[in-house]
């Protein structure tokens, strides 16, 4: 029998709004699996659950750490597995909610927690990227670790630099090290992927970007920039919705260009999410209409979860 429910899906699919009635219907507690909502200082650009949603059902790992702290997919896997044990001990259902692909993979299969790079080492790699270009470094990754390169976006600077750094430090591919340390989740689970019509999803993504700017995203990023956090080795800030604001604050692009860049980056991420989960055979696809109320979508998932055996 399934003992863990995982609700993932594309950005803009309504995971948060569906997760609340879902947890209420199944007597569950929510474990956040969004790699940016875990940070206390990141609010507007991460679309965190609002106070009313947080109060409706128990939530875990929302605003859990500071952007000053080290927090990795491996950390998430360890803490989330402990929380699952605790929630099950309370005779409640652990419901893992979030669109971060690496977090879900780490939870289900375990994760090699690669060593931290010294700030100077990371800066050296970034300088090399400026000199050689990201394409040259991506080609190096393809040679050193073709498996990792195949599942890495050619424009994902952070993952490319991490893969190259592990190769140079250890002489072994990161993908190989990850496999050696995999430990499957010791419970039955069901993995649901929520998505909607592409045009409607993109329209929601575009609207959300405009809304975040109206709610004060620019000021939020400005405060982080003034605190010197953007320029530091801070993985938390290497994410769409934050990086695109920085050129605007520096006067390099217009407000409209900034908005278009955010929207484009999120749409690209939606495509990556769809591609990633198409390769995960246990994924249960939940297509939704955005005219359907969240509790109706939750009911569909509840019925499937209760009536079908875990894979």
pLDDT tens digits, one per residue of 73-103: 888 999 999 999 999 999 999 999 998 888 9
Q: Band of the pLDDT at 16, cuts 50, 70, 90?
A: very high
Mean pLDDT for the stretch of residues 99-110: 88
Who contacts 213 (Cβ-Cβ below 8 Å, separation ≥6)? Answer: 255, 258, 259, 262
* CATH superfamily, with its number, for domain 4-112+182-307: P-loop containing nucleotide triphosphate hydrolases (3.40.50.300)
pLDDT computed for residue 2 by the predictor: 63
* Same CATH fold assignment for domains 4-112+182-307 and 119-180: no
Q: Band of the pLDDT at 189, cuts 50, 70, 90?
A: very high
List the chain domain ranges.
4-112+182-307, 119-180
State how far the Cα of 285 lies from the Cα of 277, in Å rounded to an integer.
Answer: 9
- The CATH number assigned to the domain with range 119-180 reads 1.10.20.140
pLDDT surpassing 70 at residue 220: yes
pLDDT surpassing 80 at residue 21: yes
Q: What is the mean pLDDT of the chain?
A: 88
pLDDT computed for residue 113 by the predictor: 58
Q: Band of the pLDDT at 266, cuts 50, 70, 90?
A: very high
**Which spans in 65-197 are helix H?**
73-89, 101-109, 119-132, 134-144, 146-150, 157-170, 174-180
Higher-confidence position of 286 and 127 = 286
Mean pLDDT for the stretch of residues 215-234: 77
State how far the Cα of 139 lies from the Cα of 144, in Å rounded to an integer.
Answer: 9
Residue 12, token pair as written in the block: 């803009």
Higher-confidence position of 159 and 267 = 267
Of 12-21, 157-166, 217-226, highest mean pLDDT:
12-21
pLDDT surpassing 80 at residue 306: yes
102-113 burial code (b ≥16 CB/10 A, e <16): bbbbbbbebbbb
pLDDT computed for residue 101 by the predictor: 87
Residue 79, token pair as written in the block: 């803490």
- Residue 162: CA count within 13 A, CB half-sphere: 18
Q: Band of the pLDDT at 166, cuts 50, 70, 90?
A: confident
Q: Is 235:158 a contact under the CB 8 Å cutoff?
A: yes
Mean pLDDT for the stretch of residues 17-42: 95
Which range has the worst mean pLDDT, 183-187, 257-261, 267-271? 183-187
pLDDT computed for residue 310 by the predictor: 46
Helix, coil or strand: residue 142: helix
Whole-number percent of the chain with pLDDT over 70: 89
Q: Is 167:173 a contact under the CB 8 Å cutoff?
A: yes
Higher-confidence position of 118 and 200 = 200
pLDDT computed for residue 230 by the predictor: 57
State how far the Cα of 255 lies from the Cα of 249, in Å rounded to an integer.
Answer: 9
pLDDT surpassing 70 at residue 120: no
């Amino acid at each position: 029998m399934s003992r863990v429910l995982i609700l993932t899906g594309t950005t803009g699919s309504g995971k948060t709004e569906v997760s609340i009635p879902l947890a209420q219907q199944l007597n569950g507690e929510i474990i956040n699996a969004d790699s940016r909502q875990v940070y206390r200082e990141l609010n507007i650009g991460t679309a965190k659950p609002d106070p009313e949603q947080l109060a409706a059902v128990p939530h875990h790992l929302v605003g859990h750490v500071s952007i000053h702290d080290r927090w990795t997919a491996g950390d998430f896997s360890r803490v989330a597995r402990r929380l699952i044990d605790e929630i099950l001990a309370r005779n409640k259902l652990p419901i893992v909610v979030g669109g971060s692909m690496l977090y879900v993979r780490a939870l289900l299969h375990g994760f090699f927690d690669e060593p931290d790079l010294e700030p100077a080492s990371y800066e050296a790699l970034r300088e090399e990227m400026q000199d050689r270009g990201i394409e040259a470094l991506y080609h190096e990754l393809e040679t050193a670790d073709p498996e990792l390169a195949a599942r890495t976006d050619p424009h994902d600077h952070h993952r490319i630099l991490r893969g190259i750094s592990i190769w140079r430090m250890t002489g072994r591919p990161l993908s190989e090290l990850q496999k050696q340390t995999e430990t499957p989740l010791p419970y039955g689970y069901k993995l649901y992927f929520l998505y909607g019509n592409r045009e409607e999803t993109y329209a929601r993504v575009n609207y959300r970007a405009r809304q975040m700017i109206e709610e004060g995203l620019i000021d939020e990023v400005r405060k982080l920039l003034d605190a010197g956090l953007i320029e530091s080795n801070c993985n938390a800030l290497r994410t769409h919705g934050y990086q695109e604001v920085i050129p605007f604050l520096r006067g390099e692009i217009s407000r409209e260009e900034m908005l278009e860049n955010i929207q484009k980056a999120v749409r690209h991420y939606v495509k990556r999410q769809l591609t990633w989960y198409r390769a995960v055979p246990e994924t249960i696809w939940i297509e939704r209409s955005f005219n359907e109320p969240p509790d109706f979508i939750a009911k569909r998932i509840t019925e499937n979860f209760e009536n079908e055996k875990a894979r």
